[in-house]
Amino acid sequence: MKKLKTNPYRLATQIVIIGLLVFAGIKALISNQYVADFEAYCPFGGIQAYASFLLNNSLACNMTNIQISMGLVLVVAVVVFSKLFCSLICPVGSISEWLGKLGDKWKVRRTISGLSDKILRSLKYILLFITFYISVTTSELFCKWFCPYFSVTSGFHPDVDIIMATIALVIVIFGSIFFRLFWCKYLCPINAISNIFRFFYIFVGITGTYFLIRILGLELSFIWPLAILCVLAYIFELHSLNNKPFPLFKIVRDQSSCTSCQLCSKSCPHAIPVASLNVVRDADCHLCGDCIQVCPEKGALSINRSGKKWLPVLAIIVLIIAGLLFSRSFELPTVFEQWASQEDMQEMETYTISGLKTITCYGSSIVFASHMYDMEGVYGIATYLNNQRAKIWYDAEYADTTAIREWIFSPAAIPIQNLPVR
């Protein structure tokens, strides 16, 4: 039987992921009761939402603790293993790779190299910077405007900008056929942010310094650490630099068993010259294991000399299960506002109400906060998308739960405003 050129464990995972997405899409089409939440497991949305929470005290868009946990899974996977999300989970990456194989079959695919490759690689950091800046300053996910995955799975949801998303889709499809992984290498902000996490010490050092400056009460916009991280990750990517010992798992070549047949280099989706490296430190390597799969010499290629090619699949399954369990252990409010001093807030009563159909995202939470701000005796709210809940702080001298319920359900025209402390 002909030997597969792709790591079979990885291929099976990619097929299962795309199969699940197709199944959810078909189910959503034939059943009015079923709403497929294709965003629920997007780590990039979770990372932006958490950054928005740290900087503004509000979660971006309609993100919940599941996306935030998936963001954490992405970080741990990148730091410890490699870009496992890209290699195994991301359907855009899988489809780009398969389209690239079609391009090879038609003999039309090229690998961009040299100066053009170096310049183009900067684009994804620019896109990451713009996306992050807009998402954090507006608490709405800007990536939804153009994300090829979200536009297709949501059937061009109203949040999608049709022109931007169509351009992105055209680039994904034709870019993959004619150029090696064009979207992934040059434009994908998840790839850019993964490279930032990959340089772990630098990421921790710069973000730690930034939050220390804020704790000390000094004003400094987040755009500075973000810009520095983007520039450094770009430079590090160009020079294949690593923060030793991260990532902990790497492809290693044993020179004594290697016959320099070059099959590994030819099979690498990112065209990394594996056959001429002893340890693969290239930022593009996502530990797919395809090079190990094609190597004819036993033991010539391995993950950390002993690891097997099923290790990345096992790692991502364990990490996702751990992430889902972790997501049940905490809950961050979408909007958290308090309009009195901390001392006064300690004296307030609280009232929690669930099933509020109007609390669906950051925008609707802000409208709810504006409405509650106008009620006498109410001094704070926190909204949670899970169970569409709100926690309300009130002064029992001026308000009670019946009055609060009546106020919540009374119609009102509410201007969206910044709510000052009373």
Q: Which residues bind ligand SF4 (CB under 6 A)?
A: 86, 90, 92-93, 183-184, 188, 190-191, 251, 253, 258-264, 268-270, 272, 274-275, 280, 285-291, 295, 297, 300-301
For residue 215, the Cα-to-chain-centroid distance in whole angstroms is 27
- The neighbouring-strand residues paired with 338 are 380
Nearer to ligand SF4, 150 or 393 (CB): 150
Nearer to ligand SF4, 289 or 380 (CB): 289
Nearer to ligand SF4, 121 or 253 (CB): 253
8 Å CB contact between 268 and 290: yes
Phi, psi of 168, deg, nearest 5: -60, -40
Nearer to ligand SF4, 287 or 316 (CB): 287
Tell me how far, at minimum, the Cβ of 249 lies from ligand SF4, in Å: 10
Nearer to ligand SF4, 10 or 371 (CB): 10
Phi, psi of 359, deg, nearest 5: -90, 95
Tell me how far, at minimum, the Cβ of 184 lies from ligand SF4, in Å: 3
Q: How many CA atoms lie within 13 A of 231 on its CB side?
A: 7
DSSP 410: S
Nearer to ligand SF4, 250 or 389 (CB): 250
Tell me how far, at minimum, the Cβ of 276 lies from ligand SF4, in Å: 9
d(CA 63, CA 42): 9
Which of these, 59, 151, 85, lies nearest to 316 by C-alpha position?
Answer: 85
Written as one string, the DSSP assignment of 227-269 is HHHHHHHHHHHHTT---TT-SS--EEE-TTT-----HHHHH-T
- Containing 303, the helix (H) or strand (E) segment is strand 301-303
User: What tokens were used for 282?
Assistant: 């290239």
Torsion region of 181: left, alpha or beta (phi above 0 gives left; psi -120 to 50 gives alpha):
left
Tell me how far, at minimum, the Cβ of 231 lies from ligand SF4, in Å: 19
Tell me how far, at minimum, the Cβ of 127 lies from ligand SF4, in Å: 11
Nearer to ligand SF4, 17 or 340 (CB): 17
Tell me how far, at minimum, the Cβ of 84 lies from ligand SF4, in Å: 10
- The neighbouring-strand residues paired with 302 are 252
Taking CA atoms, 361 is separated from 208, 282, 347, in Å, by: 29, 39, 29
Q: Is 88 helix (H, G, I), strand (E, B) or coil?
A: helix
Nearer to ligand SF4, 171 or 419 (CB): 171
Tell me how far, at minimum, the Cβ of 332 lies from ligand SF4, in Å: 24
Phi, psi of 278, deg, nearest 5: -90, -35
Is the C-alpha dihedral spanning 121, 123, 125, 131 positive or negative?
negative
d(CA 415, CA 142): 23
What residue number has its CB nearest to ligand SF4? 93
Tell me how far, at minimum, the Cβ of 333 lies from ligand SF4, in Å: 28
8 Å CB contact between 334 and 380: no
Nearer to ligand SF4, 262 or 341 (CB): 262
Tell me how far, at minimum, the Cβ of 386 lies from ligand SF4, in Å: 26
Angle between the 114-138 and 223-238 helix axes, to the nearest 10 degrees? 160
Tell me how far, at minimum, the Cβ of 72 lies from ligand SF4, in Å: 16
Nearer to ligand SF4, 227 or 258 (CB): 258
DSSP 3: P
